[in-house]
Amino acid sequence: MKSKHKILIVEDETIIAMELSHRLKRAGYDVVAAVASGKEAIKETAELLPDLILMDIHISGSLDGIETAEIIHSAQDIPIIYLTAFSDDKTLERAKLTEPYGFLIKPFEERELETTIEVALYKRAVGLRQRENELWLDATLKNINDGIITTDIDGNINFVNNAAIEILSTSRANILAQTVKNVLRVHDYETKTELENPVLMLLENRSAEIKNKEMILQRIDSYPIIIEATTSVIKDEYEAISGAVLVFRDISVKKNADEALRKSEERYRAVVEQSTDGIILFEIDTLKVIKSNLAYQKMFDYSEDELLNLTAFDLMANNVNNIGDSLNKAVRSRNISIGERRDRRKDGSFIDVEVTISIISYLNREVLCVIARDISEKKKIEKIIRESEQTYRTLFESMTQGIIYQDKEGNIISANPAAFRILGLSMDGMIGQLSIDPKWRNIHKSDTEFRGEEHPSITALRTGQKVTDVHIKIYNPKEKVHKWILLDAIPEFREGESKPYRIFTIFSDITEQKNLLDELEKSQERLKEMNATKDKFFSIVAHDLKSPFQGILGFSSILAENTDDLTNEEVKRISTNIHKATKNLYLLIDHLLSWSRLQTNRMECILEKLVLQEVVIYAINLVTPNAMGKSVTIEGTINKDVSVRADERMLASICENLLSNAIKFSQRGGMITVSSKFVGDFVEVCVSDNGVGINKDDMDKLFKIEYSHTSKGTEGEAGTGLGLILCHEMVNKLGGRIWVESEIGKGSSFYFTLPKA
């Protein structure tokens, strides 16, 4: 079965790229990406490391396919097959310089495509193997312990390896600049007489090849060493001699082996005696002690003489572990055996040791060697670590805060029970998942969606920086509710590394605190509104009530003091003004009382099914005298089958206030319409006029008590500033909403909604 080779497609024609991708996948290849420009190809190659690239020569962008291939070749050695519909000589010559693995001229057959790819992959594999062999051979020649020198047919040195340079104690330049005659000056090892150069004699066919011949080599620095040399001719492909090779090694140390061995044994004995590990040797057959070092004697509280009278079984008969089996196994298998056990001291106490049992050569005979290392302190430390880990595990499992560990790819690898509980997920639903998965339904503090790459753990992985105090709203599928969590993401690094190898995220369920805080903020906002309302109420009482009373007092004072001097016409005019002022005062007091009852929930609200047309006609009848006074026409277009659920008195008051307001700001001869329409489960009512309109800056103030916006009508009509505020309060009370649309000079339209009956 064909292996899944990864292929990157670079083609700016989308249809061709899709069709090519389909062909390749059908042929069993893994298409890792399809890009349209050189810059994208360079980026994806660096990230995906494909096995092969199919490159269109003529692609869009600042780089064509050949330039892109040159850049890729400078960074990665990845085979490239060119795709082109043009095969002019100039383009092909440029392409050849990038050493492509093939060309495909569009259009091409599927079999041609697959064959070209397979050939390219095969050439690539062969090239890699050849390069590997060359590198292996080069590394072998350079690093082999034997010195190697090769020459041409005339004896000029053309290669020398590192070992030869080291043995000759010179530089490569000095050797390569010489003939073999100058470098290889040798004497017979036995007679010490000078010998002719064996390489030149071989090249001149005056002697045969030598093998492992011992000679004395006079180095370039005149220092003599003993070498073991082998010579051989090098032949070309026609079996003609083209040079020679000399392989030699410094055996000066070998010749002094006895002395070196003696010194080595002395060093060995010193190491054994000074070792902190206990070492004891036993005869293989009888397991009798034949040697022990000072460390072993101190470790088990025996003298050297006492140990010489004991066997391995005497020393270890009372051990917890069966040492006999271990010793017999080591003898039978001739393998090193390592393990931990508890050994008994001379006084009967136990010591934890790590034991290595092996067969070694000692005084020209095989013996059983036991090396014991005191690990009592290590055991104590391990116990402390285990207890610490258990404490950590208990803390981890019992914490009320959720903890999640993620690997360097962001996959969740561990979590504590609190994390499962807060997130409402099981272990199977979390382990192996990514925190960027949209199923978490993360939401910002600002109620916007939390994109995956913005997640604190992913940010900490990307930047290597700690991310703290992040508020996230998550959906708990088990409880079917949203919860708020406060989260910190902390990266962890291995020593010497700058990129984190994992992230641990700790988070707390702050839903209750968040809800309390939100409620507190709402309470503070309501308190501000209440204070503003109170201030406005006092302002109205102090100012708006005072002004009408001053008018009434002024006009009534004139009547009282000048009755005899006033004409009937003047008395009538003053009386009319007193009446108007009294009427406005009454209306203001009525509005204040209604608003006060609404604020204190003392206004009775009886919801019932009402025919909207009937209530509107009633309100129109109430304001008809005012409309007639300004020659304003009121037209109602509401069908009699439109019913709402509302309080009759409140609805009539809303309609009356909106109609009165429309009359007030209509010019003489103006037109007012009252209409309705269904919007979902609500009825939308509109009171529209063609009057003077409302300034945009004033529209936001109409329904707020803190502004109590009031203006005189088109004929100087006064207002209380509370009518629209009452409408707003009553519409809210009835479960609807109210708003206005207006344009200066063209009129205003007031809308409000009520639930359908």
Give the DSSP letter string of 486-518.
Answer: EEEEEEE--TT-SS-SEEEEEEEE-HHHHHHHH
Token output for 384: 């402390």
Residue whose C-alpha is closest to residue 660's, from 726, 732, 746, 611: 726
Token output for 386: 């285990």
Token output for 687: 């009171």
**pTM for this model (two decimals):** 0.32
pLDDT of residue 708: 57
373: helix, strand or coil: strand
Q: Tell me how many degrees the CA angle 124-126-128 measures, rounded to the nearest 5.
A: 70
198: helix, strand or coil: helix
Question: How crowded is residue 623: how many other Cβ atoms within 10 Å of its Cβ?
Answer: 21
Angle between helix axes 65-75 and 89-96 (nearest 10 degrees) is: 10
Distances (CA, A) of 95 to 67, 85, 98, 135: 9, 14, 6, 28
pLDDT of residue 687: 96
d(CA 220, CA 149): 15
246: helix, strand or coil: strand
Question: How crowded is residue 610: how many other Cβ atoms within 10 Å of its Cβ?
Answer: 19
d(CA 84, CA 91): 10
- In 174-264, the DSSP E strands lie at 185-188, 213-218, 224-235, 241-250
pLDDT of residue 1: 42
Residue whose C-alpha is closest to residue 71's, from 89, 85, 55: 55
Cross-strand partners of 81: 54, 102
Token output for 191: 């007679």
d(CA 217, CA 227): 7
pLDDT of residue 682: 95
d(CA 738, CA 751): 6
Where do we find the tokens 């092996």?
358
d(CA 326, CA 304): 24
Cβ contacts of 238 within 8 Å, gap of 6 or more: none
The distance of Cα 591 from the centroid of its chain, to the nearest Å, equals: 61
Residue whose C-alpha is closest to residue 545's, from 591, 593, 579, 585: 585
Token output for 306: 């006492």
Distances (CA, A) of 223 to 170, 185, 194, 219, 328: 12, 11, 15, 5, 53
Residue 298 identity: K
Q: Are 420 and 426 in contact (CB under 8 A)?
A: yes
Distances (CA, A) of 294 to 23, 274, 320, 717: 77, 8, 25, 119
Helix then strand then coil, in percent of the chain rounded to 5, is 45, 25, 30
The distance of Cα 624 from the centroid of its chain, to the nearest Å, equals: 71
d(CA 238, CA 236): 5
Residue whose C-alpha is closest to residue 371's, from 282, 267, 261: 282
Residue 667 is classified by DSSP as: P
Strands 213-218, 224-235: pairing kind: antiparallel
Q: Are 622 and 686 in contact (CB under 8 A)?
A: no
Where do we find the tokens 């850049």?
71
Q: Are 244 and 231 in contact (CB under 8 A)?
A: yes
d(CA 288, CA 310): 6
d(CA 186, CA 246): 13
Domains of the chain: 6-138 (3.40.50.2300), 144-255 (3.30.450.20), 258-379 (3.30.450.20), 399-509 (3.30.450.20), 604-755 (3.30.565.10)
Question: How crowded is residue 730: how many other Cβ atoms within 10 Å of its Cβ?
Answer: 25
Q: Is 452 left (phi over 0), alpha (psi -120 to 50) or beta?
A: alpha
The distance of Cα 648 from the centroid of its chain, to the nearest Å, equals: 61
User: Nearest 5°: phi and psi at 280?
Assistant: -140, 140
Distances (CA, A) of 349 to 23, 45, 382, 433: 77, 66, 21, 53
| Run means of pLDDT, 10 residues per run, the chain, 757 residues | 78 87 88 90 90 88 87 86 76 78 79 84 80 72 81 89 85 83 87 89 86 86 86 86 90 71 66 82 87 89 90 69 61 72 85 85 82 85 79 74 85 85 80 70 70 78 87 81 85 88 86 82 76 61 56 72 77 74 62 58 78 91 86 92 90 88 91 94 95 85 69 76 80 91 92 94
DSSP string, 519-566: HHHHHHHHHHHHHHHHHHHHHIIIIITHHHHHHHHHHHHHHHHSTTT-
Cβ contacts of 75 within 8 Å, gap of 6 or more: 42, 45, 46
